[in-house]
Chains A and B, each alone.
Chain A
Amino acid sequence: MNTLITSLARLLIFPGLLFAVPAAWFFLWVERKAVARMQGRIGPPFMQPFFDFIKLLGKTTPERGGVAGMLMRAWPLIAVSSAAGAVGLLPVLPASGGFQGDLILLLALLEMPSMCIIAAGFSSRSIFGEIGSAREAVLSVSYNIVFLLAILSIAASQHTFSLSALAQLPSSPLRWLGILALLICLPAKLHLNPFSLPNAEQEIYSGPMVEYAGPELAMWELSHGLEWVAATGLVATLIAPQVTLVWLAILIFIAISFAIVLLLSVTAAATARLQIDTTVRFYWQCTLIFAVLAVAAVLFMRYVA
């Protein structure tokens, strides 16, 4: 009973929906503002993502019949709920529970929005949506190998698949190697420059989102924001030092997430979009070696120790 209440509180209050939705809007604003400042502009006002969300809720959607229409309505909802679930699993508070293997569940939930985007593009039957989905699929095949190897090296170096145990253990130099590999994968996971191929607006309009309008588009925006919170939060919990004070833990978590968002947005503003083959080559040739080395080093250390 107690664990049920704790897990519900984590899913709905902190770090779940009640915290994550405003944080998602805040991070979306930071992204746009940072890009604007880098370009010498002033940028959107603080509440902009919130206004966009409310406005999209009030718009009409085109009528779509049949199974394809039902699927198109379902994908954004699945994406939002899985991203919210991923945020709810983050071990931000000290001694917040968790279970053996929740890291694997978190990875699966983090992957769900991008799966939904691929499916959404194909079910929209738009040529731009299909091109965008194909690109997203290729991109996810290339960065996920590195992403999973990086997580694997971190988990193997600490002998556990439990997130809260990982967050509590002192960090080793090998873990930093894994965190670096994770950071390199984040721009691709969040569709930022230089890996913003799936939603390249100058070439294929909005890619998989091209047929979405109104409340459904609002849900996609929200799921994108929640992905920001979950992905940066995962790195933040791995970096954050362990403290016993609750409010200090929350503060450190928010500060590190904010720093990562700023870093990623500035990188996005400073770079141009890469071609699909360059992107794939980058992850398969340059970064993969790095990740394999990290895993090999971890296994070797384990054998020696």
Chain B
Amino acid sequence: MKLWNKLMCYSRSHSPWLFHMNSGSCNGCDIEIVASLSPRYDAEQLGVRLEGSPRHADILCVTGPVTHNAAAAIRTVYGQVCGPKAVVAIGSCPATTNVFIDSRTLEGPLDKHIPVDVFVPGCPPRPDAIILGVAKAAQILAERGNKPPAESVMIPIAESACCKDGCACAAKAEEVQA
């Protein structure tokens, strides 16, 4: 039984199937999700598969600032994803509603409607940040199982940049933070 649980945990973290939902996004984050599956980034190495049906998915990827029309749809689709499940909010819009803040056509941010596990900020975030977010969500999913979601994780923009130590852009990110 213990071995089976271990195997299940490992399998869950190695086979995240995504369902992508647009809640009024400008399509900027959506094409970055597609880019993360393209030959340059190739998220399928982590077992990621973009599924057509929310029933098949483990991780719900939401883009956009949650408009009036999308709010009910988001709750429906979240209910249709079978457990254990996780939610990744991609871009700055679902996290804070971004430049559309205080708009009367919005009902965002996303965590007012469904529990969010990982925020990947950026406008749009880089594909490697999206992949990092999905990998983190898969890890959360594996550890949590069918238990209710706890608090959410934020992927810092500098950490998810294309390179880390000893690179010009990492140094620049530190400079900006300081």
Contact = CB atoms under 8 A, between A and B. Distances in A.
Interface of A: 32, 36, 39-45, 47-48, 50-52, 54-55, 57-62, 128, 201-202, 204-206, 209-214, 217
Contacts of B15: 48, 51-52, 55
Contacts, number: 88
A54 B53 contact: no
B14 interface: yes
Q: What band does the interface of chain B fall in when counting residues whose beta carbon is under 8 Å from A?
A: 20 to 34
Given A51-B11, A54-B7, A59-B82, A212 B45 contact: no
Nearest to B38: A41
Contacts of A48: 14-15, 47
B159 interface: no
Interface in B15-54: 15, 17, 38-39, 42, 44-45, 47, 51-53
A208 B132 CA distance: 32
B42 A60 contact: no
Contacts of B53: 128, 205-206, 209-211
A51 to B, nearest CB: 4
29 contacts: A41-B38, A41-B39, A43-B44, A44-B44, A44-B47, A47-B14, A48-B14, A48-B47, A51-B11, A51-B14, A51-B47, A52-B11, A52-B15, A55-B8, A55-B12, A58-B84, A59-B83, A62-B82, A128-B53, A205-B52, A205-B53, A206-B51, A206-B52, A206-B53, A209-B56, A210-B52, A210-B53, A213-B82, A217-B55
A206 B56 contact: yes
Contacts of B39: 39-41
Interface residues of A, dominant DSSP: loop
Contact of A58 (B11, B17, B42, B45): B11
A57 B15 CA distance: 12
Task: Return the 3 tightest CB-CB contacts between A and B, nearest first.
Answer: A205-B52, A54-B11, A201-B52
Interface of B: 7-8, 10-12, 14-15, 17, 38-39, 42, 44-45, 47, 51-53, 55-56, 58, 80, 82-84, 146
A44 B12 contact: no
Nearest to A58: B8
B103 to A, nearest CB: 31
Given A42-B42, A45-B45, A48-B47, A55 B11 contact: yes
A204 B53 CA distance: 9
B19 to A, nearest CB: 10
A213 B12 contact: no
A48 B16 CA distance: 11
Contacts of A51: 10-11, 14-15, 47
Nearest to B146: A60
Nearest to A205: B52
Given A41-B45, A206-B53, A211-B53, 20 more contacts: A32-B44, A42-B45, A43-B44, A44-B45, A45-B47, A48-B47, A51-B10, A51-B11, A51-B47, A52-B15, A52-B17, A55-B58, A58-B12, A60-B83, A60-B84, A61-B82, A62-B55, A210-B52, A211-B55, A214-B82
